[in-house]
Amino acid sequence: MTKSIGILTAGGDSPGLNAAIRAIGKSAIRSHGWSVIGFRDGFRGLMQDRVIRLNGEALSGILTQGGTVLGTGRDKVDAIDIGGTTMDMRGVMLETFHAHNLTALVCLGGGGTQKNALKLHNVGMPVVTLPKTIDNDVYGTDRSFGFDTALDIATEAIDRLHSTAHSHHRIIVVEIMGHNAGWLTLGSGLGGGADVALIPEIPYSMEAVASAITHRKGSGSPFSIVAVAEGAVDIELASQLRELRVQRKDAKASERVRLKALGKALFAGRTSTLDIAKDLEVRTGLESRVTILGHVQRGGTPSPSDRILATTLGAAATRSIANDKFGVMIASKGDGYRSLPLDKVAGRRKTVPLDHPWIETARNLGICLGDHQ
Ligand code: F6P
């Protein structure tokens, strides 16, 4: 009997998803003669059995398209909202899987998707995953597809902001996505020549940032580009959040829930990019403006590098299924890949290590990272 496999995409969309879908599908059809279906809108589509047949025609012409032809969603497989009630729907998802006689399900996504896939694997569904996210924060992989394209977009934005900041002698504060990791901000800050880069891994002090800008002004550069990661926090808030994490470790279950909610609320109330710009204006005497790049970073045509990465990992996912190797994420490693057990990946996040060469390089070039170094 012909083997069948399923594919779904989950979490935020990112450039390269269609290249990966195409690679999994084409290699499955051409190298193995399998049939391929896709589930719409992530795990919800799996639960609701909303399916699209991924034959040669459906897979044709999608390599260069941004987004995901399957649609996506941010549901949790064991806590999905069903008409106002939160339910564990893994049993129903397993039924759909078996109803289609699938050999495996390939889940394309970021950190949340790796957790969901592991939860399905733990109830007996053979899964293989791929790492995609513009944030580049999936644990265990050198790169996630989507990152390179988003890095291009953020860098180009900084390039464009330079000439206008220079002409008006202004500070331009540009907010960059990346969730709680600084890869996109630090990378585009280096690539675009930002003067300040504030990332979640290094809590900032407004005093240090203002002093760096004032110093530039004094040396004949009365304009600055400040790249701020959406998850950046100042030193005071970082220390409060750290303290809460310590308290949570020893707390009873109900208290842990309360402390977690408190941490979330404090984080949500962090100094906004608009407030950073206003504060810098007061401290430096330079006019300031704000640009929030937002979802622009997730859209558009994937870069060649993301297409190659997604295609390489997609074909490797099909080989993993052919070799009956399940419960793994196909991670990028150098120009190739490696298989990592999902339980080594799920629940962990790859942030920028403080000894990373990009941090050292930024410091060498005099880019202010918001601390007092
Ligand atoms: O994970 C990708 C990402 O774009 C993050 O950088 C950002 O924090 C988040 O998704 C935004 O999510 P949403 O598209 O649901 O607003």
Per-residue pLDDT tens digits for 110-164: 999 999 999 999 999 999 999 999 999 999 999 999 999 999 999 999 999 999 9
Which residue, judged by its Cα, is nearest atom 5 of ligand 1? 179
CA of 255 to the centre of ligand 1 (A): 29
User: Is the Cβ–Cβ distance between 310 and 24 less than 8 Å?
Assistant: no
Q: Average pLDDT of 39-43? A: 98
pTM of the model: 0.96
CA of 114 to the centre of ligand 1 (A): 16
Active-site residue, 135 included: yes
What pLDDT band is residue 373 in, cutting at 50, 70 and 90?
Answer: confident
Q: What integer pLDDT is reported at residue 337 of this predicted model?
A: 97
Please report the sign of the dihedral spanned by the C-alpha atoms of residue 62, residue 191, residue 345, residue 238: negative
pLDDT of residue 189 exceeding 90, the answer is: yes
What does the longest C-alpha to C-alpha distance in the chain come to? 75
Give the Cα separation of 158 and 153 in Å (integer). Answer: 9
Q: What integer pLDDT is reported at residue 1 of this predicted model?
A: 77
111 lines ligand 1 (CB under 6 A): no
Q: Average pLDDT of 15-42? A: 98
Q: What integer pLDDT is reported at residue 186 of this predicted model?
A: 98
What pLDDT band is residue 301 in, cutting at 50, 70 and 90?
Answer: very high
Q: What integer pLDDT is reported at residue 2 of this predicted model?
A: 87
Mutate to test the pocket of ligand 1, among 175, 179, 183 (most ligand atoms within 8 A of CB): 179
Interacting residues of 153 by C-beta distance below 8 A, sequence separation 6+: 293, 296, 297, 300
CA of 177 to the centre of ligand 1 (A): 7
Which of 202, 190, 139 lies closest to 369 in space, CA to CA?
Answer: 202
What pLDDT band is residue 257 in, cutting at 50, 70 and 90?
Answer: very high
What pLDDT band is residue 47 in, cutting at 50, 70 and 90?
Answer: very high
Which residue, judged by its Cα, is nearest atom 15 of ligand 1? 12
Tokens of 258: 């309360």
Q: How many residues does the chain have?
A: 373
Give the Cα separation of 161 and 136 in Å (integer). Answer: 24
Q: What integer pLDDT is reported at residue 339 of this predicted model?
A: 98
Percent of the chain with pLDDT over 90: 98
Mean pLDDT of the chain: 97
pLDDT per residue over 305-348, tens digit each? 999 999 999 999 999 999 999 999 999 999 899 999 999 999 99
